[in-house]
Amino acid sequence: MTINIMDIVGRISYRCDILFRVIDIREQNGKKMAVLFGEDIRLVADAPYEDLIVINQADRMKIEQEYRSLEEQSFQLFRQDIALLREKQEYEVTDGYSKTLNYFQIPGRVLHLDGDPSYLKKCLSVYDKIGIPVTGIHCNEKEMPMKIGQLIDHYRPDILVVTGHDAYSKSKGKKSDITAYRHSREFVQTVREARKKIPHLDQLVIFAGACQSHFESLIHAGANFASSPSRVNIHALDPVYIVAKVSLTPFMERINVWDILRNTLTGEKGLGGIETRGVLRTGMPFNNEQLNES
C-alpha cells in the first residue's frame, strides 16, 4: 500500500488508536520514516513507513464521530458553567435583581499562537461559538520565541495561548530532561520572552504546551496553565476551554484550578496550573441608542 503526504493513517503497532496526518516522508539511517501530526490530539510522532496503514473512510468516520461526541459533551458542560457564571454576575450587578441596570461586559482578549493551522481553525470556531475575542496566528513552534515580543506589543492581549505539537521521546532522555521533548524547549522560551514583556501573572494569563509537554518547566517559566503533568496527550481544543473560562470570569474573582480543568477533554493528567484571577470587566451604562446608530 502506498502512503502519501496528507493521507490519514494509523500506527499498526499501536492498534491505530490515534488518527494521524502524514506531514513528511523521509529516509533515516537507510529506513523510510514518516512524520505524523495527530488529527485531534496535539501529538507529533515519527513512525516507520511499514508500521502505517491508511484508514478507510468508514473507520475514519467512526473514530471522528467518537471525538465529535466527546467534544460536544465537553462543550455543553462548558456552556452550562458559563451560563451559571453569567447569571451570578447579573445578580450581583443588579443588586439581587432589585435594579434594572444597562451594563456591558468586556471579556479578556486572547492571542492564540498555534503550530498547526488545522487545529487553529478548529479552536477559532469554538472561540467564536463562546463569544471570546481572539486573534489566531499560525506560527511554527521554532519561530515562536522570536516573534512573541512584537506580537504582544501589537495585539496587547489579556490572555496568551502558546501551543501546537509536542512529544516526549524516551530514546532522547529522561522525562525530566527538556531536550527529550520535540517542542517543549521552544514553548518555554516563548513563555520567558512573553514574561519579559508582561511579568505579572494576572496582567497576562498564559497557557502553554501541547501533547506530553514538560509541564514543570512551562510553569516555572511563567505560564499560568500548561500541559502535561502526567506526560499524556491533550485534545486539540483543551487550551480553548481553559482560556475561555479565564476570559469570562470577573477580574475580582480567583479561578480554582479544578474548576477550570473539569470540563476539558483531558483533565488533570494532561493539564494543570496555578490559581489565577479572571479578566472579565463589567461597565455601565450600555447605550442601546448609540449602538443602533452605529
- Asked if residue 292 is part of any domain, the answer here is no
Using CA atoms, how far apart are residues 151 and 113, in angstroms rounded to an integer? 10
Same domain, 16 and 110: no
Same domain, 242 and 135: yes
> Which percentage of the chain shows pLDDT scores above 90?
57
Same domain, 173 and 258: yes
SS3 labels along the chain:
CCCCCCCEEEEHHHCCCCCEEEEEEEEECCEEEEEEEECCECEEEEEEHHHEEECCHHHHHHHHHHHHHHHHHHHHHHHHHHHHHHHHHHHHHCCCCCCCCCCEEECCCEEEEECCHHHHHHHHHHHHHHCCCEEEEECCHHHHHHHHHHHHHHHCCCEEEEECCECECHHHCCCCCHHHECCHHHHHHHHHHHHHHCCCCCCCEEEECCCCCCHHHHHHHCCCEECCCCCCCCECCHHHHHHHHHHCCECCCEECHHHHHCCCCCHHHCCEECCEECCEEEECCCCHHHHHHC
Domain hosting 31: range is: 8-55
Residue range 161-170, pLDDT digits in tens: 999 999 999 8
Ranges of the chain whose pLDDT falls below 50: 291-292, 294
What single-letter amino acid sits at 261? L
- Asked if residue 84 is part of any domain, the answer here is no
C-alpha grid cell for residue 44?
507529533
Using CA atoms, how far apart are residues 31 and 114, in angstroms rounded to an integer? 31
Same domain, 106 and 172: yes
Same domain, 151 and 34: no
The count of structural domains within the chain is 2
Same domain, 104 and 177: yes
- Asked if residue 143 is part of any domain, the answer here is yes
Query: Where is the domain boundary, 55, 75, 92?
Result: 55
Cα 195-201-206 angle, rounded to 5 deg: 70
Same domain, 134 and 198: yes
Same domain, 197 and 252: yes
Residue range 177-191, pLDDT digits in tens: 999 999 999 999 999
- Asked if residue 85 is part of any domain, the answer here is no
Using CA atoms, how far apart are residues 104 and 288, in angstroms rounded to an integer? 10
Per-residue pLDDT at 291: 47
- How, if at all, do strands 254-255 and 205-208 pair? unpaired
- Asked if residue 289 is part of any domain, the answer here is no
Using CA atoms, how far apart are residues 275 and 24, in angstroms rounded to an integer? 40
Give the CATH number for residue 224: 3.40.50.2300
Per-residue pLDDT at 60: 84
Using CA atoms, how far apart are residues 271 and 212, in angstroms rounded to an integer? 10
Per-residue pLDDT at 12: 92
